[in-house]
């Protein structure tokens, strides 16, 4: 089952930079597809096409069978959690308030939000009693990333888009986060697109790996084992 389909997708930015060229790619339900390749090869652009932070110049992109060009961006983004490097938590809101952002917008009841926040913090390994009332500056880098993951999962989106989610975390912390994220994923079955420049991370987490090369070309689709064997 295909959740996201790129058909001859192309992105040329206003200054003439061609970021993505002739991309044909299917993302399957419940898989983690890792996008790897050198800096500037179009990985982030590819990801951001899916939630319409970037509009295609030509070609088509289907999410759950519907052309994103016809989708309401707000509705689309509720179905696709988005996690970036350095997360972008709201600095003047507590962990609980950050995680509750979208449920509040949706008008969930206080009790439903509270219990969802507790579940999510437990899911990402942050004891609610300790962390719910902290502010982002009172957290380590790794803890902030975990809050970002919890926030992205708040309304149980079928798709998670992650752009270098562990990039700002030290190597030891990154290993821990990767392992923990792997467990979360197997529990939830969320479809994930993960952008990373770290081949090791792609191999560790990916079910399939899309290797991009300069000029925004998809060079190959590989399974992790065959990529390691190269």
Q: Which of 100, 132, 139, 218 touches ligand ADP by CB under 6 A? A: 139
Task: Report the residue number, 43 or 116, with the smaller CB distance to ligand ADP.
Answer: 43
Task: Report the residue number, 189 or 215, with the smaller CB distance to ligand ADP.
Answer: 215
CB of 127 to ligand ADP, least distance (A): 10
**What track of x and - describes contact with ligand ADP for positions 146 through 175 (by CB under 6 A)?**
---------------------------x--
Site for ligand ADP in 23-62 (CB under 6 A): 37, 39-45
Listing DSSP states for 12-63 in one string gives: E-TTS-EEEEEEEEEEETT-EEEEE-STTSSHHHHHHHHTTSS--SEEEEEE
Residues 121, 115: Cα–Cα separation, whole Å: 10
CB of 114 to ligand ADP, least distance (A): 22
Residues 14, 140: Cα–Cα separation, whole Å: 38
Number of residues that bind ligand ADP (CB under 6 A): 19
Phi, psi of 142 (to 5 degrees): -65, -35
Contact call for residue 138 and ligand ADP (CB under 6 A) = yes
Instruction: Give yes or no for a contact between 181 and 205, defined as CB atoms under 8 angstroms apart.
Output: yes
CB of 73 to ligand ADP, least distance (A): 17
How is residue 162 written in tokens? 């992650």
In the block, tokens 């079910």 appear at 207
In this chain, which stretch among 25-33, 66-74, 93-101, 137-145 interacts with ligand ADP, using CB under 6 A? 137-145
Q: Tell me the CA end-to-end span of the chain in Å, nearest whole number.
A: 29
Write out the residues near ligand ADP by the rule CB under 6 A.
13, 15, 17, 19, 37, 39-45, 138-143, 173
């Amino acid at each position: 089952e295909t959740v996201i389909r790129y058909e001859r997708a192309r992105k040329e930015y206003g200054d003439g930079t061609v970021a993505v060229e002739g991309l044909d790619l299917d993302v399957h339900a419940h898989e983690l597809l890792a996008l790897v390749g050198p800096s500037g090869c179009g990985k982030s652009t590819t990801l951001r096409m899916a939630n319409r932070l970037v509009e295609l110049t030509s070609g088509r992109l289907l999410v759950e069978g519907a052309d994103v060009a016809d989708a309401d961006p707000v509705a689309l983004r509720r179905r696709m959690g988005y996690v970036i490097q350095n997360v972008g938590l709201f600095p003047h809101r507590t962990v609980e308030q950050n995680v509750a952002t979208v449920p509040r917008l949706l008008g969930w009841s206080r009790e439903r939000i509270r219990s969802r926040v507790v579940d999510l913090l437990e899911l990402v390994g942050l004891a609610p009693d300790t962390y719910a009332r902290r502010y982002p500056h009172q957290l380590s880098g790794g803890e902030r990333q975990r809050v970002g993951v919890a926030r992205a999962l708040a309304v149980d989106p079928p798709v998670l888009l992650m752009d270098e989610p562990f990039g700002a975390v030290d190597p030891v912390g990154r290993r821990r986060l990767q392992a923990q994220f792997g467990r979360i994923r197997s529990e939830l079955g969320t479809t994930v697109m993960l952008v990373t420049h770290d081949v090791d991370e792609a191999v560790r987490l990916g079910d399939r790996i899309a290797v991009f090369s300069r000029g925004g070309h998809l060079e190959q689709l590989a399974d992790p084992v065959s990529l390691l064997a190269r």
